[in-house]
Structure 1
C-alpha cells in the first residue's frame, strides 16, 4: 500500500516537472496553471526545509 502511494507521488512530481518544461515552451493554459502550482509547491517545501533546519542546530556552531 505504501509503495503504491509513493509511486503515485512520483508520477505526480514527474508530471509537474513535465508541465513546467512544457509551459516554458508555450504550452496551453492548463499546463501553465499546473506548472505554477508545481513551482509554488517546490518553493513552499524549500521554505519549510530551511525553517526546520534552523531549529535543529547544536548550539555550538557560531551561526
Structure 2
C-alpha cells in the first residue's frame, strides 16, 4: 500500500514538472499542443491559488 502512494505522488510530481516545462516552452513559442497543456496548467494553478486565498480570508478576523 505504501508503494502505491509513492507511485501516485511521483506521478503527480511528473505531471506538475511537465506542466511547468510546457508553460516555459509555450512562452517561447512552442507547438500548439504545448500551448494547450500550458493553458491547462495555468488554469489548474489559478484554481489552486484561488481556493487557498478564499480559505485564508474566511478565517481572518480583519481586526488588524
Normalising by the smaller structure, the TM-score range is 0.7 to 0.9
Offset at residue 52 of structure 1 (A): 1.1
Q: Distance in 2 between matches of 1:9 and 1:24?
A: 23
CA RMSD of aligned residues (A): 1.3
Q: How does 1:38-57 map to 2 (within 5 A)?
A: 38-57=41-60
- What is the rounded CA distance, in whole Å, between the counterparts of 1:47 and 1:16 in structure 2? 19
Q: Which runs of 5+ in 1 are unaligned?
A: none
Alignment correspondent of 2:63: 62
Gaps of 5+ in 2: none
Distance 2:14 2:25 in 1: 16
Q: Which residue of 2 aligns with 1:21?
A: 24
Q: Distance in 1 between matches of 2:38 and 2:56?
A: 27
Offset at 1:16?
0.2
Normalising to structure 2: TM-score of the pair?
0.86
| Structure showing the higher helix proportion among its residues | 2
- Aligned positions, number: 61
